[in-house]
């Protein structure tokens, strides 16, 4: 048996969150520590599925107060330091989150964002106070292939998909941030259809999208028809049979049909990535002909 090197142990550091002492591994973020301590800190750019991308502080929803810091800091990207005094629920923090939620919900469609409605209620956010004339990116979803759909009306520019397509994951670099100001958006080169781009349709960008701006075509069609029922779906972990790598899959089944495939994020084989066959090549399982 080949010995597996254990590597250099990570040191533990101590600091306080809301007056309670916590110990975390060196290199952990404040958000990691908050979640380990059971603190419910809202996050979008680090709140969606998939551990592929580190937090980039893009949505600013996870801000916390750190003693000695003049500004609120994003918990997803700020590293924990020994002796820190972190506050997660002060009035200053709650006010900031309320404003961020109002701005996000007034400019983007958060209807398919997990827990968004819950957070809006918790922080008493009122996106409608900006009125019906609030600037929104209202455009029809881009349906240019049979595998997945891009709905930029739901995009909050967290950039997780860009990282997953780039050097944090697939290394395809098919998508990037384009434009300036309110015209900033995620796009492929020359804003071409996906079928004419460098996209390899691995679907890893869908897996990390926290708002549903990227979704499986099967899910999009069922939502449009009013038949998407996530509560009734079962999830079954299995192994991909397309090749010998043995990637782990999670099959989402509704009405005895596979409606989408995701990846168990804690598995070391896939490292949260799949190829196009593993992600989308499940139709043969339910071919009734």
Provide mean pLDDT across the span 147-154: 93
More confident residue, 9 or 189: 189
Residues 3, 239: Cα–Cα separation, whole Å:
26
Which band of pLDDT confidence, cut at 50, 70 and 90, is reported for residue 274?
confident
Task: Give the global pTM.
Answer: 0.84
Helical H segments across 55-109, by residue range: 91-107
Residues facing 262 on adjacent strands: 250
Provide mean pLDDT across the span 68-90: 93
Provide mean pLDDT across the span 14-37: 92
Residues 88, 44: Cα–Cα separation, whole Å:
16
Residue with tokens 């779906």: 233
Residues 174, 248: Cα–Cα separation, whole Å:
25
Q: Tell me: the pLDDT tens digits for 209-226?
A: 999 999 999 999 999 999
More confident residue, 134 or 92: 92
**Is 3's pLDDT higher than 90?**
no
Provide mean pLDDT across the span 108-117: 92
Residues 237, 39: Cα–Cα separation, whole Å:
29
Q: Tell me: the pLDDT tens digits for 236-262?
A: 999 988 888 888 899 999 998 999 998
Cα radius of gyration rounded to whole Å, the chain? 21
């Amino acid at each position: 048996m080949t010995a597996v090197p254990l590597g250099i142990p990570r040191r533990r550091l101590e600091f306080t969150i809301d007056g309670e002492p916590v110990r975390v591994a060196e290199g952990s973020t404040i958000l990691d520590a908050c979640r380990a301590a059971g603190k419910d800190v809202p996050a979008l750019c680090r709140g969606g599925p998939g551990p592929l991308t580190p937090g980039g502080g893009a949505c600013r929803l996870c801000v916390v107060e750190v003693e000695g810091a003049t500004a609120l800091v994003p918990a997803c990207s700020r590293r924990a330091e020994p002796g820190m005094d972190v506050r997660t629920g002060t009035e200053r923090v709650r006010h900031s989150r309320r404003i961020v939620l109002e701005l996000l919900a007034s400019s983007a469609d958060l209807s398919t964002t997990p827990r968004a409605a819950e957070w809006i209620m918790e922080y008493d956010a009122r996106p409608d106070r900006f009125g019906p004339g609030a600037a929104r990116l209202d455009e029809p979803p881009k349906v240019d292939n049979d595998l997945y759909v891009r709905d930029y009306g739901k995009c909050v520019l967290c950039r997780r998909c860009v990282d997953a397509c780039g050097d944090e994951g697939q290394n395809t670099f098919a998508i990037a941030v384009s434009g300036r100001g309110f015209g900033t958006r995620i796009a492929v080169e020359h804003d071409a259809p996906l079928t004419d781009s460098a996209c390899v349709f691995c679907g890893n960008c869908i897996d990390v999208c926290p708002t549903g701006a990227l979704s499986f075509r099967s899910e999009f069609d069922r939502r449009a028809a009013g038949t998407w029922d996530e509560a009734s779906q079962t999830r079954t972990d299995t192994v991909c049979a397309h090749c010998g790598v043995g990637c782990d899959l999670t099959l989402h089944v509704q009405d005895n049909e596979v409606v989408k495939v995701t990846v168990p994020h804690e598995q070391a084989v896939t490292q949260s990535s799949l190829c196009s066959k593993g992600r989308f090549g499940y139709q043969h399982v339910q071919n009734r002909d």
